Amino acid sequence: MNSNNIEVTVKFFAMLREYGPAKETITIPKDSTIEVLFKRYQIPREAWQTIIIINGIPHKNLETVLNNEDIVSIFPPIGGG
């Protein structure tokens, strides 16, 4: 890995596993955002209303910049009634 890249672990849960594996460590360019991950995995925009947890902390902003060794967990929205 060169200094222009970082490694992050991405975890997909429930129905979102159709876009990526349950768990995968990938190399992406430094200063990449959550949106970059969504585009990389070809998650359609209508599915972008997800719950995103980075290192155990919820995030809502798709422009959040990822850091080396982050663990990004992506859950479908919680429905109910």
pLDDT digits (tens, 9 = 90+) for 21-55: 999 999 999 999 999 999 999 998 888 888 999 99
The domain ranges of the chain are 5-75
pTM of the model: 0.89
What's residue 1's pLDDT? Answer: 61
Q: Residue 11 phi/psi, 5° resolution? A: -125, 130
Distance between CA atoms of residues 61 and 17, nearest Å: 21
CATH topology of domain 5-75: Ubiquitin-like (UB roll) (3.10.20)
